[in-house]
Structure 1
Amino acid sequence: MTTDVHVRDLRYFVAVAEELHFTRAAERLYVSQPALSKQIRALERQLGAELFRRDRQGVALTPAGAALLPYAERLLAVWAEGASALAEVGAAERGTLVVGMSTSPGRGGLLPAIRSRFTAARPEATVRLRQVSWDDPTAGLADGDTDVAFVWLPLPEATSGERYDWTVVAEEPRLLALADTHPLASRPHIDFADLLDEPFLALPPSAGRLRDHWLALDERGGRPPRIGAEIASTEETYEALAAGLGVCLVATGNARLITLGGVITRPVHGISPSRYALAWRREDGARPLVRAYAEACRLATGR
């Protein structure tokens, strides 16, 4: 048996083994389904054994896959412990906390208020901000690029709270953003039922449940949304709105970022509010810098 299997290969294998569904496993891993299938095939060739049976009934572990699974899970658990210990040592040596975000929190000087409280509690620490693409709804938490992150809920895997903890920063109504030439622009407010046939701007598919949230899937009664364009940044959102490619929902606190020339927002009835949060990986919750920043955030927001 070839021994130079990568940790990533084992992580992919375990995800498919647990989901027994390549598409769900790909969404969980933030990779495309074809790329995941290709990687699993490569792993099977490397090991010289078929790990999954794929047929019309679905996906199932082969005897070889079932034999490998507990060892792969054990190796990943040990590796995660080692990586966490290494990160802890590195953080202690650097005294640096990396804070991720997709868009700046703004919201009444929130970042400076948190920073001042954090600095008072941990004067030796350094805060480094990292801008992360909208492709990653965890703003760097999933791949370990950030220590804490400002994110929109829901997070991947957040229903059971297995992977992340968070403190809510703001709960804000979702507004409708649209071109000022749109037929609905003349209304002072809009019922979401009147938007079901409108083309919507959508986050990338890799955003998963967050994409669904900003498309308001829960309020559509099973009717699929029409996608006018996909957007991955504030700039792309504004350009698509101004060009009339679709409408989109936006949190009240972010409306100022896109209501430039030619784009307006209107209140929407019939949808739930958005929730903005500071999140961190659950296993990092005991780290001193993570704890201190979360506490500073709670103090700054009064939550």
Structure 2
Amino acid sequence: MDVHGRDLRYFVAVADHLSFTAAADALYVSQPALSKQIRKLETQLGAELFVRDSRSVALTPVGAALLPHALRLLATWEMGEAAVESAKATQGAALAIGISTSPGRGILPAVRSRFTTAFPHAKPVLRLVGWDDPTAGLAEGSTDVAYVWLPLIDSDRYHWLVVASEPRLVALPQSHSLAARESIDFADLLAEPFLALPKSAGVLRDYWLALDARAGHPPIIGAEVSSTEETYEALVNGDGVVLLATGNAPLVARDSVVTRPVTGISPCELALAWRRDDKRPLVRGYAQACALVVGERPTTA
């Protein structure tokens, strides 16, 4: 038996008003059209739904039995329609992707390709966020997902997925006395002035100063930097040396700046992060696309 939602709506309207005229007015259809549709439904069911006479309309026992089920079916369908509209709106929404420097490593185009295949109407938008915000916009809500360096401030607020793990290098002027070495032990850098992230970067500032490898020796801060260009200019100016990820070396290693491997410190980790309480399909979809690209599973604090 193939009963349409329209048939059930017509039936429920007549049952509610117990008047074909009033039901037709409520449905914005003609009374003859409504009566015809009800008769068609009765034929399909093989039983009358209403007792009609010139003065009144009443439900038959069959109509009374059908009514609660019709109401539930219509309510379920309305919820389904609402869910579909919500999903359509989500698919067409923008997804703000925070970055402080380009992740490089081929990650962005590969993830975008998978993401837009799954959500063809979504609009991924890159947003460059200053180094003073180590969450790349996640903390203040200006981005939905973000490529960030670990460790994260307030890490219990986020899920994250490691997308790259690589050695830390040191960048220094080509004229520096240590630049002639093929690699440099971190202990030989303890007395050097370092370029530091802004203090607002918190634990990430400490990480790139390698506080955990200093054995109690406080860092000497030569300058604070908030961008790649500031870092390059400070290096050229001889304000200090700086640790950076291997994949980011090309951003500063040019002209009179060189990079060298550093022993005695741990590798760094680049991650895609998103807020733990953000359950939106686009956010989960982007994280899933990233996981497929890098072959990793999300991590929580």
The TM-score with structure 1 as length reference comes to 0.68
**Partner-residue secondary structure (3-state), 1:104:** coil
- 1:3-18 residue pairs with structure 2 within 5 A? none
Aligned equivalent of 1:300: 293
Structure 2 counterpart of 1:122: 119
Unaligned runs of 5+ in 1: 1-87
Q: What residue in structure 1 maps to residue 77 of structure 2?
A: none
Letter in 1 for 2:256: G
Query: How far apart are residue 276 of structure 1 and its match?
Result: 0.1
Offset of residue 223 of structure 1: 1.2
**8 Å Cα contact 2:91/2:120 also seen in 1:** no
Question: Which string of whole-angstrom CA distances, capped at 9 and with x for unpartnered residues, describes residues 157-199 of structure 1?
Answer: 22xxx20110000001000100000000011110001111100
1:30-73: CA deviations, max 9, x gaps?
Answer: xxxxxxxxxxxxxxxxxxxxxxxxxxxxxxxxxxxxxxxxxxxx
Residue in structure 2 matched with residue 271 of structure 1 by the alignment: 265
Counterpart position of 1:110: 107
Rounded to whole Å, the distance in 1 between the matches of 2:90 and 2:119 is 12
Query: Residues 95 and 122 of structure 2 are in contact (CA less than 8 Å); yes or no, is this contact kept in structure 1?
Result: yes
- CA RMSD in angstroms, aligned pairs only: 1.6
Residue 93 of structure 1, CA deviation: 8.1
2:99 aligned to 94, 98, 101, which one? 101
Task: Indicate which of 152, 155, 167 corresponds to 1:155.
Answer: 152
For residues 133 and 151 of structure 2, the distance between their equivalents in structure 1, rounded to whole angstroms, comes to: 13
Q: How does 1:125-144 map to 2 (within 5 A)?
A: 125-144=122-141
Structure 1 counterpart SS, 2:277: helix
The number of equivalent residue pairs is 211
Counterpart amino acid of residue 191 in structure 2 = D
Per-residue displacement from partner, 1:13-35 (whole Å, max 9, x unpaired)?
xxxxxxxxxxxxxxxxxxxxxxx
Which residue in 2 is equivalent to 1:214? 208
Distance 1:288 1:227 in 2: 43
Counterpart CA distance in 1 for 2:102 and 2:119 is 23
Partner-residue secondary structure (3-state), 1:184: coil
Residue 191 of structure 2 aligns to a residue whose secondary structure is coil
Matches within 5 A, 1:162-201: 162-201=156-195
Cα shift at 1:95: 1.2
Show CA shifts across 1:103-160 (max 9, x none).
01111x21110000001111111100000000100000000000000000001022xx
- How much does 1:92 deviate? 2.8
User: How far 1:221 moved relative to its partner?
Assistant: 0.9
Counterparts of 1:213 and 1:185, CA distance in 2: 23
Give 1:25-36 correspondences, 5 Å limit. Answer: none
Q: Aligned pair 1:291/2:284, yes or no?
A: yes
Q: Which has the higher Rg, Structure 1 or Structure 2?
A: 2
Report if the CA contact (8 A) 2:91-2:119 is conserved.
no
Instruction: Report the Cα distance in structure 2 between the residues aligned to 1:153 and 1:283, rounded to whole angstroms.
Output: 20
- 1:11-90 to 2 correspondence within 5 Å? none
User: 1:94 deviation in Å?
Assistant: 5.1
Whole-angstrom CA distance in 2 between matches of 1:93 and 1:105: 25
SS, match of residue 300 in structure 1: helix
Does structure 1 retain, via aligned residues, the 8 Å contact 2:92–2:121? no
Deviation at 1:302, TM superposition (A): 2.1
Structure 1 outlier segments of 4+, above 3 Å:
none
Percent same amino acid at aligned positions? 66
Q: Distance in 1 between matches of 2:135 and 2:281?
A: 21
* 1:245 is the counterpart of 2:242: no
